[in-house]
Copies of this chain bind each other. A is one copy, B any other.
Amino acid sequence: MCMDKYVIIGGVAAGTKAAAKLRRLSSNSQIDLYTQDTHVSYSTCGFPYFIGGNFDKEEYLFARTVEEFEKSGIHIHLEHSCEEILPDLKKIVVNGQKISYDKLLIATGAKPILPKIKNIHLKNIFTLRCVEDALAIKDIVSKSRHATIIGGGYIGIELMEAFVNRGLKVTLVEAAPVIMPIFDYDISKIIQTHVLEHCNNCIEIINNDFVTEFFGSDKVEKVRTQNGRETETDFVIICVGVRPNVELAKNCGIELGTTGAIKVNERMQTNIDGIYAAGDCAEKFHIVARKPVWLPLASTAIKEGRCAAINMSGAKEFFYGVLGSAVTKYFDFNMAITGLNERDAKAFGFEPVGVVITKSDKVDYMPDAQTITIKVIADKTSKTLLGAQSVGYGNADKRINTVVPALNCHITVKDFMKNDLPYSPAF
């Protein structure tokens, strides 16, 4: 009997999801997953909460252990770096050995961007990508009094919460005028103001500036910004963004998209027959913009991994694209976004109009009423919804979820207002 041979490169979200789905779809096939990593199936989104002490059990970071995968007949090859893909032979090269596949999934993810900063080789300068990073950062937090975070995006703000939670003072350096610049300026401004007003003087945020030099003999001891600000510090986190990990794909002739990520169709197929890509290494289609984008998010990687697996198994499945929906929090202050912000909407050729409302999340006489701010963005010409942003206490985040299915349908603001949403003064 001839067994299907599925090979997967990469073992975080898309790779492991695809492996599990393939197992369910074809009980007879051989499934091998190769990763240069020392772990698989871990939740990078959980790292900040692990570091911040929400939990200490390392095993909570894993959706599934290597043993569990092996038990279901998925072979996990840790610390096995794939050196080359040979599409003509339908083989990959791992540790010098050629391994054949019938269907291949590239799920090589993304890697942190390292800005040009002098003395970046010093000890105690971290990025946060894998379990080792999380363990090392959790460890150094317990021995430190001051942390420097470079980059005020999702990871930056989540680590800021983690460090404050563990009693550290934090300096955050963000090149943009405010932190969380994925939101529009008016909303980011609210976020930054909130963070600074609720920090007990343990946070310093430096905007419109960037770190140019680290100082220290062995370990980092001080950072200096372009504007000449100097801060003594015990360790540094660099989280200024990531880029798709596409070298392997590119080197074997797989086409990249305009965003620099691997070009895939709605079935997660690359230009080479039998080779699929999913997760952070793959380009995405933006449902509102109707253009290719690159948005590295675990929630998307999971869906793409699932879609790739179904198509690899011979069945048909489509993934229609993304909205760039994301959510995070700073302690009990929540922030969520979906669709296009005004800046991106303009870049994509829309004529965005944004309305911002700050109001109680329920009728004011309810004792637990909380203030939330919601921004809704629409296109002036077509009147269609383009996106929404929501920040505040309570269920600020869940308000965004209501907009998500509406954006899929390209509905107008007028029709969105007619939605039969449940009402009660208590909600």
**Interface residues, chain A, with chain B CB atoms under 8 Å away:** 43, 45-46, 49, 54-55, 57, 60, 287, 297-300, 303, 319-329, 334, 336-338, 363-367, 395, 397-406, 408-409, 411, 416, 418-427
Contacts and interface: CB of A to CB of B under 8 A. Distances in A.
B49 A426 contact: yes
Contact of A419 (B46, B364, B408, B423): B408
A303 B49 contact: no
Given A366-B49, A426-B49, A426-B328, A401 B421 contact: yes
15 contacts: A45-B425, A49-B425, A54-B366, A320-B418, A326-B422, A327-B422, A327-B424, A327-B427, A328-B426, A336-B422, A337-B422, A402-B404, A403-B405, A404-B422, A405-B409
A363 B337 CA distance: 20
A420 B324 contact: yes
Contacts of A365: 46, 49, 54-55, 57, 60
B426 A329 contact: yes
A303 B287 CA distance: 29
A49 B365 CA distance: 9
Contacts of A399: 398, 401
> Which 8 pairs across A and B sit closest by C-beta, in order of nearness?
A398-B398, A327-B422, A299-B423, A55-B365, A325-B422, A405-B406, A405-B405, A323-B420
Best-buried of A49, A409, A416, A421 by chain B (most CB within 10 Å): A421
Nearest to A366: B54
A364 B63 CA distance: 12
A55 B366 CA distance: 8
Nearest to A407: B420
Contact of A397 (B303, B320, B404, B422): B422
Contacts of A326: 422, 424
A297 B420 CA distance: 10
B338 A420 contact: yes
A413 to B, nearest CB: 13
Given A45-B425, A60-B365, A425-B49, A419 B405 contact: yes
Nearest to A154: B424
Given A367-B54, A404-B420, A46 B299 contact: no
A404 to B, nearest CB: 5
A421 B49 contact: no
B420 A287 contact: yes
A298 to B, nearest CB: 7
Contacts of A325: 420-422
Given A402-B401, A420-B338, A425 B363 contact: no
A57 B363 CA distance: 14
A367 to B, nearest CB: 6
A424 B328 contact: yes
Given A55-B365, A365-B55, A406-B405, A300 B426 contact: no
